[in-house]
Structure 1
Amino acid sequence: MLTNKKIVLGVSGGIAAYKAAALTSKLVQAGAVVKVIMTENAQNFVAPTTFQALSRQPIYTNTFKEQNPSQIQHIDVADWADLFLIAPASANTIGKLANGIADDMLSTTLLATEAPVYIAPAMNVHMYSHPSVMKNLKQLDEWGFKFIEPGEGYLACGYVGKGRLENPETIVELLQKESNRSAVLKGKRVLITAGPTHEKIDPVRYFTNPSSGKMGFALARQASLMGADVTLIAGPVQLDTPQHVKRIDVTTAEDMYEAVLSNYENNDIIIKSAAVADYRPKYQFDQKMKKSPGDYSVEMERTRDILQELGNRKTSQYLIGFAAETNDLEHYGEDKLRRKNLDAIVMNNVAKEGTGFAHDTNSSIYLTKEGKRVELPLMTKDELAEKILLDVAHNVSGGVF
């Protein structure tokens, strides 16, 4: 599974750097081609010659020490990589990556690579739980970086707790599984909608809903990690675009209708997770409406039903809908599944604590036209996205749910 996989291993400063030597050996034994980049501090723990002997590849320690004058070293290594692994990842290296700092060979190459990046933190238990480290880890997670969680146990500093670099054997096993997962949707084109819409009354007022777009962005991130070519159509949200995802920004329900329909025919899988307005003001005003005595009524008209139109036009596409309900989830889900010609639907109970709009977690009921019913307990939106996409892969690419 890792045979001929081109892996760049970044080794940052910390006592766990000695484990990176064993990790290099295990990766090479698994068939990978490994190039190692060491920070200056890492060289205080392990000599570069150790990694050179284990990898049988050049070791990179200095951005300006070009090994081949015909190439720009950090760009060449960044482009070469199929996968980038930082192990151990110190608090310093994590902070650099989260804040765009490129002041050595490792940080510069990390900013230049488009390969998936896996981060295996290793540090003192109190450092790992420090708010600044947690903030940096959260930022990297939102950008789509993958983490290999540190283990708990006795640390070199004498403390016992979380912060120990995961065992090399476990890291290799995880990368082997991830290598398989990255091919689950390879060659498939996926169209995803996310976020709310804004339906204008006048230049300063509009109707909307609390959707944050987090579920749709999680789906886009996970689909991309599974090898799909992803297009994300997003309403007005404050979220960073996942790596390798094409993003189209829209504002109104009509904007989203036009964007979805213009991209529909070119995609294999369509997931409509956006919370599109069902109604909009019938009349919009070019000037701000002034406050006046008494009540004011706004006449509303129906927006076009995007999911219904997709179901009507469906040929070979696999179509998934989302619905936010407060009661009778299965009743409404089964009705929508049939009426809108869907292949599957995800029903979210937004009345349940920790679920729905703006939360980082969801609990759902997943229904398919074949009669499958899966109760999905409270989990992160990325975990939910992964489970949904694995079931889609089972239907369109031979994956497993």
Structure 2
Amino acid sequence: MARLVLGVSGGIAAYKACELLRLLTESGHQVRVIPTEAALRFVGAPTWEALSGQPVATSVWSNVPEVEHVRLGQSADLILVVPATADLLARAAHGQADDLLTSTLLAARCPVMFAPAMHTEMWEHPATVENVATLRRRGGVVVEPAVGRLTGVDSGKGRLPDPAQLFELAQQMLRGGVRDLTGRRVVVTAGGTREPLDPVRFLGNRSSGKQGYAFARTAVARGAHVVLISANVELAVPAGVDLVRVETTAQLREATLAAAKDAEAIVMAAAPADFRPAQVADQKIKKKHDGTAPIIELALNPDIAAEIGAAKQPGQILVAFAAETQNALENGREKLTRKKADLIVINDVGTGRVFGSDGNEATIVGADGSQEHLERQSKDELAHAVWNRVVSLL
């Protein structure tokens, strides 16, 4: 059981923090809620007290003998600020301590996660951009807002991520404990591409995207700014990522090349199709009644990882993947060299041991000749193991 502080600032998304609080307490964590005065205009103190089983205060003048702002900051294992308004981010970045929440943040020696929620214009304002950069530079995890419906009729970036995803991120931070990617910008690709054959059919593969999403999720927990380029998955979007959705290998290539320009690490966990139909039919290809099947000519898709490797900037780290059914190590080493990668994660994907499962087994081979076999473990654990190698190279 961990001791958590849930800070709630004064935004309309404060009601969503109730769901996060429920998830945290039902998992056995002890949660102390510290709302701002403005937050209590959206959700009252009795609600927070009933859901947490703990008293609620907003001022440093409450329970003075306990010196709560110091005690709470010193004793917490993790502090979550959900939602974090533009005003709260500004006050935290500038070290203000004019209420119990901001005072607790100054006294904290544990990881702190901010989940911003505001209108797009406020999130993109230079003042907010600088405040977020300051908090990240100091080691705070400021998750990227989601894109969607905002207050009123507006839509855009600034929506609070789903409470279930924030809960998963909090669990990751409690398990991982390290924030060694703080301030780093990383790109992760995930999922399998689809190459259209006609308006109905496509060529694809069995990739579920689970391993790529695990890389994105664990990188956010370790403090990174993550661009997740996602191809055809049915997974909940991890909290805190910049999501780019693609379908085809050509779209994956375009998005990855653009995002990689200012990334410090690129993890190519997606499964792009090696081939595509040379011609895409305008109409559905009809079945012939003479018993013959149509002949489909295939064209070769570009090798995105090799293109990234050839254009890699000094200091950039490229992690490639090799999904093999035979001669896995031999084929993986050849791909490592050809793609000019720093690391390659080699999977033997025969007998359904990887695709769609929650576990993974792999061998990591480095350009320096190193080799490490990872026994079957959760995909999050495997992602952490690979990130450990990336951090050592960075």
TM score, norm. by length of structure 1:
0.62
Contact 2:211/2:380, CA 8 A, preserved across alignment: yes
Q: Deviations over 1:90-143 (max 9, x none)?
A: xxxxxxxxxxxxxxxxxxxxxxxx868xxxxxxxxxxxxxxxxxxxxxx93697
Q: Aligned pair count? A: 287
Segments of 5+ residues of structure 1 without an aligned counterpart are 25-35, 60-72, 86-113, 117-138, 149-173, 397-401
Alignment of 1:302-317 (within 5 A): 302-316=300-314, 317=316
RMSD: 4.0
**Residues 141 and 362 of structure 1, relative CA distance in 2, 3 Å threshold:** farther
Partner of 1:41, secondary structure, is helix
Contact 1:7/1:83, CA 8 A, preserved across alignment: no
Contact 2:31/2:54, CA 8 A, preserved across alignment: no
Q: Could you tell which deviates more after superposition, 270-279 or 139-148?
A: 139-148
What is the alpha-carbon distance in structure 1 between the residues aligned to residue 27 and residue 343 of structure 2?
Answer: 46
Q: Deviations over 1:292-347 (max 9, x none)?
A: 12222211010111111112112222111011112222111111111211100001
Partner of 2:197, secondary structure, is strand
Partner of 1:347, secondary structure, is strand
Partner of 1:144: 168
Q: Deviations over 1:155-175 (max 9, x none)?
A: xxxxxxxxxxxxxxxxxxx96
Query: 1:77, CA displacement in angstroms?
Result: 10
Partner of 2:181: 185
| 1:217 matches 2:241 | no
Partner of 2:376: 378
Partner of 2:391: 393
| 1:340 matches 2:339 | yes
Contact 2:321/2:344, CA 8 A, preserved across alignment: yes
Aligned partner letter, 2:389: D
Partner of 2:273: 277
Alignment of 1:350-389 (within 5 A): 350-351=349-350, 355-389=353-387
Alignment of 1:2-401 (within 5 A): 8=7, 39-41=48-50, 53-57=65-69, 83=112, 140=164, 144-147=168-171, 178=177, 181-182=178-179, 184-293=180-289, 294-316=292-314, 317-351=316-350, 355-396=353-394
Q: Deviations over 1:218-242 (max 9, x none)?
A: 1111111111111111111122222
**Residues 55 and 329 of structure 1, relative CA distance in 2, 3 Å threshold:** farther
What is the alpha-carbon distance in structure 2 between the residues aligned to residue 15 and residue 314 of structure 1?
Answer: 46
Q: Deviations over 1:14-52 (max 9, x none)?
A: 89999779xx9xxxxxxxxxxx99834368x66669977
Aligned partner letter, 2:379: K
What is the alpha-carbon distance in structure 1 between the residues aligned to residue 332 and residue 324 of structure 2?
Answer: 9
Partner of 1:266, secondary structure, is coil
Partner of 1:190, secondary structure, is strand
**Residues 20 and 344 of structure 1, relative CA distance in 2, 3 Å threshold:** closer
Q: Provide the identity percentage.
A: 30
Query: 1:204, CA displacement in angstroms?
Result: 0.4
**Residues 58 and 270 of structure 1, relative CA distance in 2, 3 Å threshold:** closer
Contact 2:195/2:277, CA 8 A, preserved across alignment: yes
Partner of 1:169: none
What is the alpha-carbon distance in structure 2 between the residues aligned to residue 219 and residue 361 of structure 1?
Answer: 13
